[in-house]
Amino acid sequence: MEPEPHALQGEDGTAEVSASLAQVASILHESFDPIIDLVTGQDLLPVMVYAQELGAWDYTGMYSAVLQHQVPCPAVLLGM
């Protein structure tokens, strides 16, 4: 069976999207150090994953692409 790609842009209220975005955030936190906003002290990785705004940072155009296969080993790609 071929991997199924899913493009996600922020929360849409469904449990499936919320779970996928939480998984994306978890993978990014395992792979990268936090990207800290110097003004607020907040980590920007979740802001990016959930396509949000924070101060001068606007990630509302950000998408997360998730490849899911039968084996639970997702791949993640972020892009605008």
pLDDT tens string 22-63: 988 998 899 899 999 999 999 999 999 999 999 999 999 888
Q: Report whether 10 contacts 60 (CB < 8 A).
A: yes
pTM greater than 0.85 (yes/no): no
Q: Report whether 79 contacts 62 (CB < 8 A).
A: yes
Report pLDDT digits (tens) over 60-77. Answer: 988 888 877 666 555 556
Q: Report whether 21 contacts 13 (CB < 8 A).
A: no
Expressed as residue numbers, the domain containing 70 is 4-79
